[in-house]
């Protein structure tokens, strides 16, 4: 089982562009590994470079500073996770309750399967800087949109912002994950999914 969901891909274009894209992915893989093991605040550019097997010269070819790498690695984890959830929902049968159960099962299983990525996704991203917080806020909105779509909900009156209740539900689902991770994944996953599901179904009771 790989330690990170970031996949190495082949890129079209010139060989130089392909090598540069490959090095960037090596840094993303290394960042998830290092930040997941040491924590972002304890990690150095040198440690990430060593884990990637590349020099600092190549690091600055792709990233201006470590904060930019943190955001990029977070976004890579987010893209993977949302893809997994979308795929699970597409394969789900039954009504909204069953679809949300399937989605949450895929979500919590992914966090358990990739613990380093889970730390980057849920812990290391918080409170670093306004720019990093902006990336986190965007991901929370995307996650909330997915929950609402899975439940078959639409925004009230075409509102541009999600409801406070929806924001609270998203935060609750994530805090369940944080507590589960902090406990060493001690609770059975069906209990974790059940707790998250009860929160999400509140949105259908409005």
**pLDDT of 10 higher than 60:** no
pLDDT at position 5 is: 58
15-63 shares its CATH topology with 67-205: no
Exposure on the CB side of residue 175, measured as CA atoms within 13 A: 7
pLDDT of residue 25: 94
pLDDT value at position 160? 44
Q: For 41-91, how does the pLDDT look when each residue is reduced to its tens digit (9 = 90+)?
A: 899 999 999 999 999 999 999 999 999 999 999 999 899 999 999 999 999
Residue 28 has pLDDT above 50, yes or no: yes
What is the per-residue pLDDT across 152-198, written as a single tens digit (0 to 9) for each?
886 544 444 568 899 999 999 999 999 999 899 999 999 999 999 99
Structure tokens at 39: 């924590």
pLDDT of residue 4: 57
In contact, 204 and 99? CB cutoff 8 Å: no
Q: How far apart are CA 130 and CA 118, in angstroms?
A: 21
Q: Domains of the chain: which residue ranges?
A: 15-63, 67-205
CA 109 to chain centre: 13
pLDDT tens-digit readout, 97-114: 999 999 999 999 999 999
Q: CA-to-CA distance for 112 and 128, rounded, in angstroms?
A: 24
Q: Which of the four pLDDT bands, split at 50, 70 and 90, describes residue 17? A: confident
Domain 67-205 annotated CATH 3.40.630.30:
no
Instruction: With cut-offs at 50, 70 and 90, classify the pLDDT of residue 1.
Output: very low
Report the CATH number of the 15-63 domain: 1.10.10
SS (H, E, C) the chain: CCCCCCCCCCCCCCHHHHHHHHHHHHHHHHHHHHHHHHCHHHCCHHHHHHHHCCCHHHHHHHCCCHHHHHHHHHHHHHHHHHHHHHHHHHHCCCCHHHHHHHHHHHHHHHHHHCHHHHHHHHHHCCCCCHHHHHHHHHHHHHHHHHHHHHCCCCCHHHCCCCCHHHHHHHHHHHHHHHHHHHCCCCCCHHHHHHHHHHHHHHHHHC
pLDDT digits (tens, 9 = 90+) for 113-152: 998 888 877 888 888 888 888 988 999 999 999 999 999 8
- Say how far apart CA 135 and CA 110 lie, in whole Å: 20
Rounded Cα distance, 206 and 97, in Å: 15
State both tokens at 8: 């190495």
Distances, alpha carbon 39 to alpha carbons 35, 116, 128, in Å: 4, 10, 12
């Amino acid at each position: 089982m790989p330690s990170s969901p970031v996949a190495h891909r082949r890129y079209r274009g010139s060989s130089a562009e392909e090598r540069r894209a490959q090095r960037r992915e090596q840094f993303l893989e290394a960042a998830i590994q290092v930040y997941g093991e040491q924590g972002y605040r304890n990690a150095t550019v040198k440690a990430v470079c060593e884990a990637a097997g590349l020099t600092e010269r190549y690091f600055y070819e792709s990233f201006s500073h470590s904060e930019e790498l943190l955001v990029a690695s977070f976004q890579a984890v987010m893209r993977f996770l949302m893809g997994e959830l979308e795929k699970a929902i597409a394969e789900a049968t039954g009504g909204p309750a069953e679809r949300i159960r399937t989605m949450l099962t895929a979500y919590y299983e992914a966090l358990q399967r990739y613990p380093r990525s889970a730390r980057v996704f849920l812990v290391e991203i918080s409170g670093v800087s306004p720019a990093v917080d902006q990336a986190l806020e965007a991901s929370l909105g995307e996650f909330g949109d997915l929950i609402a779509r899975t439940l078959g909900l639409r925004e009230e009156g075409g509102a541009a912002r999600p409801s406070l209740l929806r924001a609270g539900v998203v935060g609750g689902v994530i805090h369940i994950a944080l507590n589960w991770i902090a406990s060493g994944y001690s609770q059975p996953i069906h209990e974790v999914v059940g707790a998250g599901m009860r929160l999400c179904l509140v949105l259908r009771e409005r």
